[in-house]
Amino acid sequence: MMNNIPLFDRPKQIENRFKADADIVLHHGDVKDFIATVPNNSVSLIVTSPPYNLGKDYEARVSIESYLQTQAEIIKELCRVLKNDGSLCWQVGNFVDNGEVFPLDILYYNIFKQSNLFLRNRIIWRFGHGLHASKRFSGRYETILWFTKSKDYVFNLDSVRVPSKYPGKLYYKGPNKGKPSGNPNGKNPSDIWEVVLKDWEEEVWDIPNVKSNHPEKTSHPCQYPVELIERCVLALTNEGDWVFDPFAGVGSSMIAAIMHNRKAMGCEKEKEYVNATRKRIESYFNGTLKTRPLGTPVFVPTGREKVSQIPDEWKTELPQKRLLEKRRKYK
């Protein structure tokens, strides 16, 4: 879908270094050098998916210990620039070495606690497609660790409420007996997200990851969708706040911030991705940026599509047919 209604009347200038009065800052270079130019207590939301050594061609494969030590140094600086009422959202998957899975969100936890941050939620991002494993179950989720710097933080619950499953539910006892028991603005979403209205009710964030047929696809091998970040931006910041992605990739976090009238800041060392981010931001302002709108239902095959039907060759060869056809009654 095209974003045909840009938020601003005219494009905002993209600065290449931090300026307090800027609206958009996109820096090409090392994140450590850039963070040093950002003032203390100036950023309302830090949201990112850091590169991690899965052997991708844009990453240097290092030991998990060395990797985490380097990340700890960066995180310490990120905490310095985070406002006292700000939030940090760290989206990671798993590090896999020789078939063994290392859960990065768990390994990161102590690093954030060393900076005295408070974990508010461990959010599950579930997606339906990805690499297929042969000696373990295929991974279909990643996590977002949401930390705050203090116990007094921005949380705009009404901005992310979703329709209640049973809005007509009433109190059955007590002083409010017979009155509606829910909130007229909807219910509080849970820590497992599915970004469509009906799926909020199922308490899962089921957002398609950015593969070849996704409208937002660029050359980045680990691009995450804009809608994944939109919810963080809406819930954890106010208009005019700074949103900072220290590993900006192709700018999905920055675009989510710009779309909702926040100030966007990002740092990226790969020139190709910096150029892609600039083009995507320009496309947003001229109304041609393709995004998957927040709340779009995840496609479910009807069974009539040829690709969703069991091949004739499989029907007599695999136990899958028996599993699909088997019916069991539950009491």
Q: Domains of the chain: which residue ranges?
A: 14-304
Tell me the HSE value of 216 on the side-chain side, using a 13 A CA sphere. Answer: 29
Q: Are 292 and 225 in contact (CB under 8 A)?
A: yes
CA–CA gap between residue 306 and residue 73 (Å, rounded): 51
pLDDT at position 292 over 90:
no
Give the chain as a 3 state SS string.
CECCCCCCCCCCCEECCCCCCCCEEEEECCHHHHHCCCCCCCEEEEEECCCCCCCCCCCCCCCHHHHHHHHHHHHHHHHHHEEEEEEEEEEECEEEECCEEEEHHHHHHHHHHHCCCEEEEEEEEECCCCCCCCCCCCCCEEEEEEEECCCCCCCCHHHHCECCCCCCCECCCCCCCCCECCCCCCECCCCEECCEHHHHCCCCEECCCCCCCCCCCCCCCCCCCHHHHHHHHHHHCCCCCEEEECCCCCCHHHHHHHHCCCEEEEEECCHHHHHHHHHHHHHHHCCCCECCCCECCCCCCCCCCHHHCCCHHHCCCCCHHHHHHCCCCCC
Give per-residue pLDDT as tens, 119-155.
999 998 877 666 667 677 766 778 999 999 999 999 9
pLDDT at position 217 over 60:
no
- pLDDT for the residue 62: 72
Mean pLDDT over all residues of the chain? 80
300-316 average pLDDT score: 61
Q: Name the band, by pLDDT with cuts 50, 70 and 90, for residue 318.
A: low
Maximum mean pLDDT: which of 131-140, 181-190, 267-276, 307-316: 267-276
**What global pTM score does this model have?**
0.76
Q: Name the band, by pLDDT with cuts 50, 70 and 90, for residue 167.
A: confident
The values of phi and psi at residue 119, to 5°, are: -80, 120
Maximum mean pLDDT: which of 3-12, 59-68, 129-138: 59-68
Quickly count: other Cβ atoms within 10 Å of residue 46's Cβ.
26
- pLDDT for the residue 96: 75
- Its sign, for the CA torsion 260, 249, 209, 78, is negative
CATH of domain 14-304: 3.40.50.150
Give per-residue pLDDT as tens, 74-104.
999 999 999 999 999 999 887 777 778 888 9
Q: Name the band, by pLDDT with cuts 50, 70 and 90, for residue 161.
A: confident
Q: Which residue has the higher pLDDT, 213 or 79?
A: 79
267-280 average pLDDT score: 94
Q: Name the band, by pLDDT with cuts 50, 70 and 90, for residue 306.
A: low
Q: Name the band, by pLDDT with cuts 50, 70 and 90, for residue 211.
A: very low
Q: Report residue 171 as tokens.
A: 């109190």
Tell me the HSE value of 97 on the side-chain side, using a 13 A CA sphere. Answer: 11
Q: Which residue has the higher pLDDT, 1 or 284?
A: 284
Q: Are 226 and 284 in contact (CB under 8 A)?
A: no
Q: Report residue 98 as tokens.
A: 């020789």
Chain-centre distance for alpha carbon 184: 27
Which of 81-90, 233-242, 278-287 is the least confident region? 278-287
Among residues of the chain, what percentage have pLDDT more than 90?
A: 47
- pLDDT for the residue 323: 55
pLDDT at position 203 over 60:
no
